[in-house]
Structure 1
Amino acid sequence: MKPIIGLITDELQAFSTEEKREVLPRFFKTGKGEYGEGDHFLGVAVPDTRTVAKQHKDISLNEIRNLMQSEWHEVRLCALLIMVEKSKKKDETLRKQLFDLYLSQTSRINNWDLVDLSCRFIVGEFLLDKSRDILYQLAQSPLLWDNRIAIVSTYAFIRKGQLDDTYVLSDLMMKHPHDLMHKAIGWMLREAGKRNPERLYDYVMNHRAEMPRTMLRFAIEKFGPKERSVLMKRV
């Protein structure tokens, strides 16, 4: 029988289109010096990758680990989506194994889509009733993708009305040098603001002078024009 990495790669390849092969490397910034430098794309849309992942959701964790070593972006995404499928099982031992495997592979979870489509489920939801110390460690990692995992994982907490970690991590990473993080932090602040608009308004009022403009714009997107006008003004 063909190894699972070859089988899944072939199945994904069957969904590949020339248009996607041309567009995706540019969209995910794979050029020299860009954040996705050197990544390779088969040219597969996310819904098709999900289809393949669901067909292989019962593969072993070792097979998932092997998939994560693939040069192909979509194969790694497929592995992560399989992990998401497995994380839906009410099996605490399995969820801990998935959590540990995920955090051992963050150098391979090396673009924003890979982070955003997986970390809320595998990291955030696992930590709902546990210490969040690991997120603060990830927030201070030199690896951009660890930083993004830290903040985007808090989406799981936000959905449960637990907003504190989002704000504390936003404080911790306010001066992050990368625009990808400005967008991610602004996005999570915006989501937190949907649950408690007053808290977000006060937070932005207190931090607007130091918030990068991209972060600020993302955070206040759901406020009305008058509120946004006030909040966009530098002190």
Structure 2
Amino acid sequence: MAQRKASATTLLQALEQLQSPAFAKKVERFFRRSYCPTDVFVGLRVPQCRDALKKYLATTSKTELLELLRDPRHEMRLTALIALTEVYERPSKAPLWQPVPSHDDVRLEIRRVLLAHAAFCNNWDLVDTCCHKILGHSLLHFEMTAVDAFLSRPDDITLLPDWYTALLTSSDLWETRMSIVALLGVRADNVALSYAICAYHLRRFHDAPALRCTLNGVAFESLDLIHKALGWVLRENGKEGKAQLETFLDEFAPKASKTTVRYATEHLPKAKVKRYVAMAT
């Protein structure tokens, strides 16, 4: 008779009991190994990670979560980032993290933790899970004085908060993507900021054609994940008004990659898509 597994008592134990080597092999084929040559996949589905959090987040300490965030296994880090996002949105979900004066103090601490552990947010799904909800919201909730100053002088990124400027100017591929994906949490309330940051990145890469991001400190040839992220954000910006998106593309499509423009124009008429793609580099 097969031995029955002991019931999990911690979040980590619950996740480890759900591991599937067969599914892990499928996951590995989904993620390009050139982006994550040392990542370890254990075969957890995202809904499984979320279900485990529903049961164990309230009894998981901050120390335990930080251990998950530093775990070499991809899905453990993913679960930690989902948890940080959920607690940022609803600090009461993590009562063990609450020896601080207010919910906003919890949010600021979560932002600090995420930025301090950016090296562990090292794949596109990890970035896309948390950055818009934590970093994007944080820009508008805590940093509006700096944001307004920047929008009055959008050529001077030093007017933005130091932590965001560091992401904007980083050569690291994942930190660069973090600075872009964060805008998905901005555009509905401040689309001007979203466009201004997209313009910064488009100029940055257009004006230095040889510029490449780095992975683990080594120049990485492909900018595909940056081009796609910019196009994604621009497409979402267009939901706030297609005319404004078209005005932006009239100026910046010649500075953008064709990938960026194709993503940005998905909801535009075919004739306009063709024209803007032809303008792109």
- Is the TM value for this pair above 0.5? yes
- Is 1:158 paired with 2:170? no
- Is 1:111 paired with 2:123? yes
- Is 1:61 paired with 2:62? yes
Does structure 2 retain, via aligned residues, the 8 Å contact 1:54–1:85? Answer: no
Q: Using the TM superposition, name which of 9-18 and 34-43 deviates more.
A: 9-18
Does structure 2 retain, via aligned residues, the 8 Å contact 1:12–1:42? Answer: no
**SS in structure 2 of the partner of residue 154 of structure 1:** helix
Give the partner amino acid of 2:122.
N
Aligned equivalents of 1:197, 1:19: Cα separation in 2: 45
Q: 1:13 aligns with which of 16, 24, 27?
A: 16
- Is 1:52 paired with 2:52? yes
Aligned equivalents of 1:139, 1:20: Cα separation in 2: 36
Deviations 1:49-69 (A, max 9, x none): 111122232323222211111
- Is 1:187 paired with 2:222? no
Does structure 1 retain, via aligned residues, the 8 Å contact 2:230–2:260? Answer: yes
Aligned equivalents of 1:71, 1:7: Cα separation in 2: 18
TM-superposed CA distance for 1:19, in Å, is 4.1
- Residues matched between the structures, number: 226
Task: Name the counterpart of 1:196.
Answer: 241
Aligned equivalents of 2:77, 2:172: Cα separation in 1: 18
Task: Name the counterpart of 1:232.
Answer: 277
Task: Name the counterpart of 1:87.
Answer: 88
Percent identical pairs in the alignment equals 27
Deviations 1:83-117 (A, max 9, x none): 11111236101001101001000000000101111
Does structure 1 retain, via aligned residues, the 8 Å contact 2:71–2:77? Answer: yes
Task: Name the counterpart of 1:3.
Answer: none
Does structure 1 retain, via aligned residues, the 8 Å contact 2:28–2:41? Answer: yes
Deviations 1:163-215 (A, max 9, x none): 12222221222216411011111100100011021111111121222211111
Q: Using the TM superposition, name which of 48-57 and 6-15 deviates more.
A: 6-15
- Is 1:127 paired with 2:139? yes
Q: 2:251 aligns with which of 191, 206, 212?
A: 206
Task: Name the counterpart of 1:136.
Answer: 165
Please show how residues 24-63 of structure 1 align to structure 2 within 5 Å: 24-30=27-33, 34-58=34-58, 59-63=60-64
Q: Which blocks of at least 5 consecutive residues in structure 1 are unaligned?
A: 1-5
Deviations 1:135-185 (A, max 9, x none): 23201112111111111111111122x112222221222216411011111
Aligned equivalents of 2:23, 2:187: Cα separation in 1: 33
Aligned equivalents of 1:43, 1:128: Cα separation in 2: 36
**Once superposed, what is the RMSD of the aligned Cα atoms?**
1.9
Q: Using the TM superposition, name which of 43-52 and 18-27 deviates more.
A: 18-27
Taking structure 2 as the reference length, what is the TM-score of the superposition? 0.75
Aligned equivalents of 1:40, 1:154: Cα separation in 2: 29
Does structure 2 retain, via aligned residues, the 8 Å contact 1:68–1:108? Answer: yes
Does structure 2 retain, via aligned residues, the 8 Å contact 1:152–1:188? Answer: yes
TM-superposed CA distance for 1:220, in Å, is 0.7
Q: Which blocks of at least 5 consecutive residues in structure 2 are unaligned?
A: 1-8, 92-102, 147-159, 206-210, 213-222
Give the partner amino acid of 2:130.
S
TM-superposed CA distance for 1:18, in Å, is 4.1
**Going by fraction, where is helix more abundant, 1 or 2?**
2
